[in-house]
Amino acid sequence: MEPHQAESRTPFPWRAAAPSLAASGVLLAITICATSVLYVNHRSTMETFDHAAETYRVSIALESIVRELRKQIDHYVDTRDEGDIANFKQFSSALSSAISRFESLTVTPSGRIIVGRPQYTLDLNRALEEFLRGNRQRQSADIQELIDREFSDEALKEAIQQREAAARALEEARATSGRLSRLTIATILILGICGSGVGVLSGYQTARAWQKQIIELSVSVDSATGTLSEVTKVAPIDRPRDATDLTQVQAAAELLSNRVGEVVKRLRNAEQESLRQSQLAALGQLAAGLAHELRNPLTAIQTLVETAQADPDDGALDERDLQVIHQELERLDQTLQAFLDYARPPQLVRRQADIREVVSDTVRLLSARASKQGIQLQTDFAETLGDVEVDPKQIRQVLLNLLLNSLDAIGEEGTVTVSVTPHSETGIQIRVQDDGPGLSPEIQERLFEPFASTKPSGTGLGLTVCRRIIESHGGTITAGNHADGGAEFVITLP
């Protein structure tokens, strides 16, 4: 159950695209790795190729210098021409520079040795430098021993070998570059084929997921059409013949939507009719309750008047009869006023008010009556109370009604406590608690209904008006019995 719920919380497009996204992610990772490897190999190959090409160029230059030096040595040995000495100096400088450059290229940046060290060429250059530093007149006879043809031949052979080694290294680098190019082409081809395959498989998987979703939607539409036809007793909707045909399913869904709209319209009309019936029933109940409340005082007044009319001499109305009539008329006035308050509640006039002041003023109004009954009126305010936006007059009316009910319920000797505490961030909670007999289960169920009262002289509209006032403030009022006995009313204001 839990996996299904977790899956249902994931949007369907994400679930349908998940295989494609996963395959694309894997393919992307492989592509990045392959590209990185190819780039590193290509860079290494190009460095080797450039190094080998430079080595080849230097080896050719070195070979050319050795060849020219060999000719110059042969000419000097045969002619002893002092003019060749200046040429020897130039050859020595060029040979030293070429040897230095050549030695720096014998090892590639990757550590591979392309060609060997030009030992004979080094020896030839060293002998030439010693000859140039010496006394040429004294050593001219020994020049054949210092620089002979065989020695220069070995240096020339060595230069040729170095050039050939550099050429082989250049050819190897070219071959490696070719292999790398073929590998790159093969990699691109493989990735292209794999990408196409993954795209086809992902598309197939996505299509299957959508097909499954369409079938499930078709089943839901099919079930809904059947249920709707059974409940509403109307002609059934044509169900899609092919559950995988999105066009048929969409057409059936549109018909179902139209039919549901018709049913909703019928239900709304039925609801409005039911509301009118409820209003008429409530009006009838209200009229019956009002008639009952008016009949009692009118009956008492009628009885006194009929008695006086029956015997004008002995049945004249005395002071006591007039007092009864006055009381019953006041009762009629109170009943009518309560009915007017219920039928036409006054408009709210909200302002910032200190709830402690509102409660204290209400308690002060009833303190004299409470003292006569031997009842203590107590208040308990939290220290963190602030001002609230209410209609102080109407909140005072609610508290007055609740306190009067508590005084009537206790009778004599008791305690009524009004406590105010913060509620949520800006709201308050008011509790009116007494130690009277409490609320019976029968009256507690219909306590806030019109004309529900346990007092013989009550109208039964006071608590109904109280609830309307509190709800117009956006609050709630509840009633119950607390654990210590007695009734408890809880008002919550935002």
Digit-coded pLDDT (tens) for 126-163:
666 666 666 454 444 444 444 554 455 666 676 677 67
Q: Which token pair is 306?
A: 């009929």
Mean of pLDDT values over 18-41: 75
Yes or no: say if 431 and 418 are a contact pair by the CB < 8 Å rule. yes
Which DSSP string corresponds to 252-295? HHHHHHHHHHHHHHHHHHHHHHHHHHHHHHHHHHHHHHHHHHHH
- The class (CATH top level) of 2-204 is mainly alpha
Between 37 and 475, the more confident residue is 475
Q: Rounded to whole angstroms, how far apart are CA atoms 235 and 239?
A: 12
For residue 92, pLDDT beyond 50: yes
Distances (CA, A) of 375 to 360, 379, 406, 431: 16, 13, 10, 17
Mean of pLDDT values over 176-190: 78
Q: Rounded to whole angstroms, how far apart are CA atoms 191 and 170?
A: 31
10 Å CB burial of residue 427 (0-12, 13-18, 19+) is middle
pLDDT of amino acid 265: 80
Comparing CA positions, the residue from 93, 197, 80, 195 lying closest to residue 141 is 80
Domain borders along the chain are 2-204, 245-344, 348-493
Which residue has tokens 């002995």?
Answer: 314
For residue 224, pLDDT beyond 70: no
Residue 31 sits at the vertex; the CA angle it makes with 29 and 35, to the nearest 5 degrees, is 120
Mean of pLDDT values over 418-437: 91
CA atoms within a 13 Å half-sphere pointing along the CA-CB vector of 329: 6
Mean of pLDDT values over 53-57: 75
CA atoms within a 13 Å half-sphere pointing along the CA-CB vector of 280: 6
Instruction: State residue 428 phi and psi, 5-degree precision.
Output: -135, 165
Q: Rounded to whole angstroms, how far apart are CA atoms 157 and 116?
A: 13
Between 112 and 337, the more confident residue is 337
pLDDT of amino acid 256: 66
- The mean-pLDDT minimum among 84-88, 216-220, 453-457 falls in 453-457
If pLDDT is split at 50, 70 and 90, which confidence band does 370 have? very high
For residue 101, pLDDT beyond 50: yes
Report the CATH architecture of 348-493: 2-Layer Sandwich (3.30)
Distances (CA, A) of 233 to 117, 145, 224, 225, 254: 105, 129, 13, 11, 19
- Is domain 245-344 annotated with CATH 1.10.287? yes
Give 371-384 pLDDT, tens digit per residue. 999 999 999 999 88
Residue 127 sits at the vertex; the CA angle it makes with 126 and 128, to the nearest 5 degrees, is 90
pLDDT of amino acid 13: 63
